[in-house]
A and B are shown apart, each in its own frame.
Chain A
Amino acid sequence: MEQLNPRIRTVWLAVSVVAAVALAYVVGLAPTETAVQPPVPLSVVVFGVVLVVGVVYQYLRYKAWGFEIQDDAVYIEHGVVVRVKKVVPFVRVQHIDSRRGPVERASGLASLVIYTAGSRGADVSVPGLTPERADELRERLRELAIENEESIEDAV
């Protein structure tokens, strides 16, 4: 089982820091004219809690993520709250993207998106890959998809 590039944890962490700051800011806007002043401002508490949750979550999330190219299918495992295992047979692969969004470019990462004709097709994506690895996987999957397509003429 292949794991994601550890750098993705930094990205997830950064996202939760931003979320914590945003939430703390929103809470800080609320009127503070209560009779009893809390010892610590509420926004600080919110910031701390969200951050701790974010740290724990990204750790578990990273641990849960894994994928593998098997004999006849791509196998993907992820999810902390809902644990998901997906099997995408090569025959079903319609096309494959390697993608780099702004955040991914900034962090030097890329993701792989596998499309099938299934109703949840676009769901199958693997984040946190190095650009080289993403391109490599894309090429590999393309070959496997074509190989299987040649032997079995059935798209849907």
Chain B
Amino acid sequence: MRETSVSQPADLHPLSIAYRAVSQLGQVGFVVLLSFYGGTDIANGFSFVLLGVAALGVALAAVLVWQFAYYKRFEYEITDDSFDIRSGVVSRRNRQIPLRRVQNVDVTENIVHRLLGIAKVNIETAGGSQSEASLRYVGADVARGIQREVRRRKTELTDEASEVTSEGDEDVVGESLYEISNHELLLLSTFSIDVRLIAFALFAVSFLPSESLPFEALPSRLAVVPLLVLGVAVVFVLWLIGFATNFSRYYGFVLRRVDDTLSYERGLFNRYSGSVPLDKIQTFTLDENVLKRYFNYATLGVETAGYSPTQSRQQGSETAVPLAKRERVLSLADEIDGVDEPEFMLPPKRARRRYAFRYTLLTAAVSAVLYAVSVYITPLRWYLPLAALPLVPFAAHLKWSNRGYYIGDGYAATRNGFWNRTTVILPYYRVQNVIESATVLQRRWGIATVTFDTAGSSGLRNDEARAVDIDADEAERITGEVRDRLQGSLAERRAERRRDGTWLDSVATDSPDASLGTRPDADDAQET
């Protein structure tokens, strides 16, 4: 598709005038209308409407003129080593983005864009918290052309620098690693419900006092039925929303590998494409909720640092494989970064006993609170939570058996969670520091928690590599082992890079982390 020439100065798509005008008018028109209808009384209503329409017409004309001027004065060009944009109606701005700094060219199309055949192109560099440049809007095919062209020229530049021969143009399109099938898309959308929600809804409904319900005509035993129906309906609606969201988000998901970058495309209404440089990946996460585990499916995510196309923060989480059979996900992770399947060690059995204690106390506490409420405020079936006591051993067992840690050759892995089990796999050379902690209660049980901190984990989500409640001596041991392996792994990587003669490039893109606010621009010196 080289015929969509982007090598000379080019304009935006003419339809962008109309599109931008309408969307701008949406904002302006609202204000205009509001100001005219603000104090309308009915007698004067007619003339006000006329005035409003007239004002709207003027606004439309003004907006169209402005957008036409914007279109006329906007020009972009891909040169051999930079992406240039000249823009601005009143004050002019010439911007040049060196192609080597470009991390990603994002193409976004919403449903209206797709009807008009236009697309938004965002050029992102490593340092920026927002897009360095935005083309609103160019033809959809031109957008793809830009994406390809930038990638191609960037590769050329890189190859020149590291004196590696180019492998030809077909490589630029990249090998396809994964494409979501209809079957997987439907399953993924179906699995979107949080199972905990159902459990909670049923539980909450079950112990409300029947007297407080507005179904006095019914015998009290039946009063629960409409409530159950209501609960099921709520859950169903939530599930439907989740289904629609996931379906439109992951529709047509494709994951490709181009050189050292993973790129993906997805979306039904809003078509979105982005990419993740491989050397920005800090950890892999494997998400398997109860349903996925039952059907032997899993989701693969990658945590990155220093760059993220969708979030303004510089660390983020990207979905690499929305849903696939567990073995396939693992083999893809292996293909991407040589990740071997972890063989998990479980925490000691006393951890399980501890969970049983904890749940028993929790159940008793809930009952006690409900009892207090029913004595002093309103009668409740406070004893109902106690019915959950027989479930405690099972819950404790599930919590215990879903935890685990693995100290492999090149990777460590941890996993936690029964309802949503998250496995975090991290290469040793990504470990930033190791934190071993034990609360007073943990010390009494002789257990401890070890956290492997990386630059990618936010700590807010369940994405930290934590070996929870493992034997205290074992915690000490794996802390030491990971520490040693980190040094070994780094030395190995260095040797590898020297051999490949590419380490200079990797260093240049391997910028220090965002949490410090260090802008990777500081790396310029190393790069040149």
- Number of A residues near B (Cβ < 8 Å) is 31
Q: Which of B422-470 contact A (CB under 8 A)?
A: 429-440, 443, 453-459, 464
Question: Does B511 interact with chain A (Cβ within 8 Å)?
Answer: yes
**Considering the complex of A and B, which 5 residue pairs feature the smallest CB-CB distances, nearest first?**
A118-B432, A117-B513, A118-B453, A85-B436, A117-B455
Known: A86-B434, A154-B429. Contact between A120 and B512, CB under 8 A? no
| Binary contact readout A24-51 vs B (1 if CB under 8 angstroms, 0 otherwise) | 0000000000000000000000000000
A122 and B507 alpha carbons, distance in the complex (Å): 23
Question: Does B351 interact with chain A (Cβ within 8 Å)?
Answer: no
Partner of B455, one of A119, A122, A124: A119
Q: Nearest Cβ distance between residue B378 and chain A, in whole angstroms? A: 29
Cβ contacts under 8 Å, B490 to chain A: 91, 152, 154
A120 touches B503 (CB 8 A): no
Question: Does A89 interact with chain B (Cβ within 8 Å)?
Answer: yes
- Interface pick from A12-20, A76-84, A101-109, A138-146: A76-84
- Interface pick from B80-88, B133-141, B479-487: B479-487
- Of the candidates B443, B458, B459, B490, the one having the most CB atoms from chain A within 10 angstroms of its own CB is B490
B516 touches A73 (CB 8 A): no
| Residue in B closest to A121 when the chains form the complex, CB atoms | B515
Partner of A119, one of B306, B434, B454, B518: B454
- Number of B residues near A (Cβ < 8 Å) is 43
A115 and B440 alpha carbons, distance in the complex (Å): 28
A152 and B487 alpha carbons, distance in the complex (Å): 9
A84 touches B515 (CB 8 A): no
A156 and B515 alpha carbons, distance in the complex (Å): 12
Question: Does A92 interact with chain B (Cβ within 8 Å)?
Answer: yes
The 27 sampled A-B contact pairs (Cβ below 8 Å) are A81-B439, A83-B439, A83-B443, A84-B436, A84-B437, A85-B435, A86-B436, A88-B433, A89-B431, A91-B490, A94-B513, A94-B518, A115-B516, A116-B432, A116-B453, A117-B455, A117-B515, A117-B516, A119-B455, A120-B453, A120-B459, A122-B515, A152-B493, A153-B497, A154-B510, A155-B511, A156-B306
Question: Does B246 interact with chain A (Cβ within 8 Å)?
Answer: no
